[in-house]
């Protein structure tokens, strides 16, 4: 079986489980909706203030729902000895990482698309003109978040204090991604040309490459047991 | 061997204090408060040296699976975190009289703080995983991620904002520092580096004793 096919099977399995149970997706959507209300109540009705903090608030929502969703990436493997089955999978174990990463990325992008739609609705911002650029920022940022998240989720899956440890490990590492995405989003919303924030694009791409490569190289070490 | 290193460190610290307070002149604008630099700047250099040792030891551990490499990585990252804490604390003490504030979200303060929190998380992970061998593997992976993340953190936070004076030593062109102050700085760096090496050796030995007692 080829490497790509093995990765695809892991991703497909996770997505089918998610489609049938809708466990994570449903909870994440309600969580995001609740976050929108919390943002609205804490920031107040002042439109100008809202516009100024919008990029940060948007990414705060993405990061928080990402932390909740990604932390569960490997929980499905804990039942019925599925972890051992992953271990027994033939060939290079990094294919499992690629599959897990692809499935988490897909799930996060779905949640983010819906959150974005709710954002435009509730906070009355017109995102249509900047949507292509914004989509690219979201994909690049989410890839970085999911790449570290999948790695750390595998690490914390077997730890007793999992729910606490996962965000504590994840959030400081994600500071460069968070700064890059917020700054790039800010520039997009202010209708600045993309070239004015070229360094942030380069940083996001560099971060994605570093995180994915480290994940590929070290994943079998974590899966061992 | 470790004891000799300890005495050497004590001696070097005395020499460092003597150069910092006795030999180096009083700075014209800041006065005596500037002398905290002889602890502040070497502390961060030693911390990053220790993280480099921790990174290399983590890679070696994953490749060879020698427990000694794991203990070295653990000790180096822990000592690095302590030195970085000293750097942040002395920075705050220096910042109050000169900048008028204990803390500001300036680029280099922020990036050092982020690195500090990353390695605190590393120490938390060490505590949280009960199985010794598994904890060693996880910690090694985290150390590699954190170490490779340091340049990303520095660039991103630097672009985010900067107000700190530019580094006066590690920059292209001639050093702006008078030779006498530079000499005192380097002497203190040597002293703290020996102290850091002593702490790491001592901590690795304690960890080896712990492992022996558990087995």
DSSP character at residue A224: T
| Min distance B76 CA to chain A CA atoms (Å) | 19
Collect all residues with Cβ–Cβ distance below 8 Å to B141 and sequence separation of at least 6. A151, A155, A214, A218, A221, A222, B58, B62
Residues of B in contact with A225 (CB under 8 A): 134
Under the banding of pLDDT at 50, 70 and 90, the label for residue B59 is very high
Band (pLDDT 50/70/90 cuts) for residue A171 is very high
What is the C-alpha to C-alpha distance for residues B178 and B116, in angstroms, rounded to an integer? 31
Please compute the mean of the pLDDT values over residues B91-119 and round it to a whole number.
90
What's the confidence (pLDDT) of residue B169? Answer: 54
The CA distance from A92 to A6, in Å, is 9
Which residue's entry shows tokens 């992008």?
A109
State the sign of the Cα–Cα–Cα–Cα dihedral B142, B148, B150, B152: negative
Q: What is the pLDDT of residue B24?
A: 82
**Which one of B117, B125, B141 has the shortest CB-CB distance to A221?**
B141
Least confident of A188-197, B92-101, B139-148: A188-197
- Minimal CA separation from A94 to chain B, in Å: 14
**pLDDT more than 70, % of chain B:** 93
- The predicted-structure confidence for A105-130, as pLDDT tens digits, reads as follows 999 999 999 989 988 888 888 888 88
Q: How many CB pairs under 8 A join A and B?
A: 78
Retrieve residue B168's tokens: 């006066």
Query: In this predicted structure, which of A69-78, B81-90, B147-156 has the lowest mean pLDDT?
Result: A69-78
Separation of CA A22 from chain center: 17
Query: Which ipTM was obtained for this model?
Result: 0.90
- Other beta carbons within 10 angstroms of residue B119's beta carbon come to 26
Considering only the C-alpha atoms of chain A, give the largest distance between any 2 of them, rounded to a whole number of Å.
58
* H/E run at residue A109: helix A94-122
Please state which of the ranges A86-90, B75-79, B117-121, B145-149 shows the lowest mean pLDDT: A86-90
Segment B200-212, tens digit of pLDDT = 999 999 999 998 9
**Contact across the interface for A169 and B138, Cβ inside 8 Å:** no
B156 and A203 in contact by Cβ < 8 A?
Answer: yes
Nearest Cβ partner for B129 among A159, A176, A207: A159
Instruction: With a cut of 80, say whether residue B5 has pLDDT above it.
Output: yes
Rounded to whole angstroms, the Cα distance separating B204 from B114 reads 26
Structure tokens at B105: 């979200």
Q: Which of A5, A108, A130 is nearest to A55 (CA)?
A: A130
Q: What residues does each domain of chain B span?
A: 2-20+34-165+178-214
Question: Mean of the pLDDT values across residues B119-136?
Answer: 93
Alpha helices in B35-129 (DSSP H): 37-64, 67-99, 107-128
Q: What is the pLDDT of residue A198?
A: 83
Between CA A98 and CA A106, with CA A101 as vertex, the angle to 5 degrees is 125
pTM listed for this prediction = 0.90
Asked whether the beta carbons of residue B134 and residue A218 sit closer than 8 angstroms, the reply is: no
**Mean pLDDT, residues B77-83:** 97
State the smallest CA–CA distance between residue B44 and chain A in angstroms.
19
* pLDDT 10s digits, B32-51: 888 898 999 999 999 999 99
Neighbours of B98 (CB within 10 A): 13
Measured in angstroms, the CA of B62 and the nearest CA of chain A are apart by 8
- Say if the Cβ atoms of A176 and B138 lie within 8 Å: no
Judged against a pLDDT cut of 90, whether residue A73 lies above it is answered with no
Given pLDDT bands bounded at 50, 70 and 90, which one contains residue A22?
Answer: confident
- Interface touch B160/A214, C-beta < 8 Å: no
Work out the angle at residue B39's Cα, subtended by the Cα atoms of residues B34 and B42, and round it to the nearest 5 degrees.
115
Q: How large is the average pLDDT for residues B83-103?
A: 92
Percent of all residues in chain A with a pLDDT value above 90, rounded to a whole number: 46
Please state, as a whole number, how many other Cβ atoms lie within 10 Å of the Cβ of residue A38: 12
Highest mean pLDDT among A32-41, B22-31, B58-67: B58-67
* CB-based contact B125 A158, cutoff 8 Å: no
> Quick one: pLDDT band at residue A176, thresholds 50, 70, 90?
very high
Q: Specify the pLDDT at position B173.
A: 53
Q: What integer pLDDT is reported at residue A2 of this predicted model? A: 87
The contacts of residue A38 (CB under 8 Å, 6+ apart) are none
Quote the pLDDT of residue B163: 44
Alpha-carbon distance A165 to A170, whole Å? Answer: 9
pLDDT band at residue B168 under the 50/70/90 scheme: low
pLDDT of B196 reads 96
Please indicate whether, in this complex, the C-beta atoms of B130 and A160 are within 8 angstroms of each other.
Answer: yes
Helices B107-128 and A162-173: angle between axes, nearest 10 degrees: 150
CA distances from A146 to A207, B19, B53, B62, B202 (A): 12, 50, 28, 23, 38
Contact assessment for residue A154 and residue A223, using Cβ atoms and an 8 Å cutoff? yes
Q: Give the pLDDT confidence score for residue A151 in this predicted structure.
A: 95
Alpha carbon distance B151, B164 (integer Å): 18
- Mean of pLDDT over chain A: 89
Percent of chain A with pLDDT over 70: 100
- Higher pLDDT, residue B143 or B29: B143
Tell me the pLDDT band of B28, cut-offs 50, 70 and 90.
confident
Q: Are A123 and A50 in contact (CB under 8 A)?
A: yes
């Amino acid at each position: 079986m080829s490497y790509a096919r093995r990765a695809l099977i892991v991703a497909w399995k996770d997505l089918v489980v998610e489609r049938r149970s809708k466990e994570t997706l449903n909870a994440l959507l309600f969580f995001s909706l609740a976050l929108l209300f919390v943002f609205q109540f804490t920031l107040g009705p002042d439109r100008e203030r809202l516009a100024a903090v919008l990029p940060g608030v948007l990414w705060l929502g993405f990061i928080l729902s990402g932390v909740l969703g990604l932390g569960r990436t490997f929980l499905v493997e804990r039942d019925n000895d599925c972890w051992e089955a992953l271990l027994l999978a033939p060939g290079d174990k990094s294919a499992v990482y690629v599959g897990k990463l692809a499935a988490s990325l897909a799930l996060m992008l779905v949640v983010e698309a819906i959150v974005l739609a709710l954002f435009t609705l509730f906070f009355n911002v017109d995102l249509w003109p900047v949507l292509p650029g914004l989509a690219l920022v979201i994909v690049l940022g989410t890839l970085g978040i999911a790449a570290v998240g999948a790695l750390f989720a595998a690490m914390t899956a077997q730890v007793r204090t999992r729910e606490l440890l996962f965000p504590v490990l994840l959030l400081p590492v994600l500071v460069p991604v968070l700064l890059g995405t917020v700054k790039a989003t800010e520039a997009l919303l202010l209708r600045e040309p993309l070239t004015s924030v070229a360094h942030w694009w380069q940083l996001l791409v560099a971060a994605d490459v570093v995180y994915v490569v480290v994940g590929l190289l070290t994943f079998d070490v974590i899966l061992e047991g | 061997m470790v004891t000799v290193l300890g005495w050497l460190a004590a001696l070097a610290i005395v020499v460092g204090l003597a150069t910092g307070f006795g030999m180096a002149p009083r700075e014209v604008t800041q006065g005596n408060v500037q002398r905290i630099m002889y602890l502040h700047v070497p502390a961060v250099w030693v911390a990053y040296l220790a993280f480099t040792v921790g990174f290399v030891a983590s890679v070696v551990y994953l490749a060879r699976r020698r427990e000694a490499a794991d203990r070295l990585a653990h000790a180096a990252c822990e000592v690095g975190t302590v030195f970085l804490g000293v750097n942040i604390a002395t920075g705050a003490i220096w910042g109050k009289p000169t900048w008028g504030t204990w803390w500001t979200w300036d680029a280099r303060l922020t990036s050092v703080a982020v690195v500090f929190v990353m390695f605190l998380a590393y120490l938390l992970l060490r505590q949280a995983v009960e199985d010794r061998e598994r904890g060693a593997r996880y910690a090694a992976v985290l150390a590699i991620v954190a170490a490779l993340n340091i340049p990303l953190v520095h660039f991103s936070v630097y672009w985010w904002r900067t107000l700190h004076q530019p580094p006066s030593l590690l920059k292209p062109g001639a050093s702006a520092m008078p030779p006498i102050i530079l000499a005192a700085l380097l002497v203190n760096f040597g002293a703290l580096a020996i102290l850091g090496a002593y702490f790491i050796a001592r901590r690795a030995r304690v960890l080896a004793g712990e492992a022996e007692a558990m087995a």
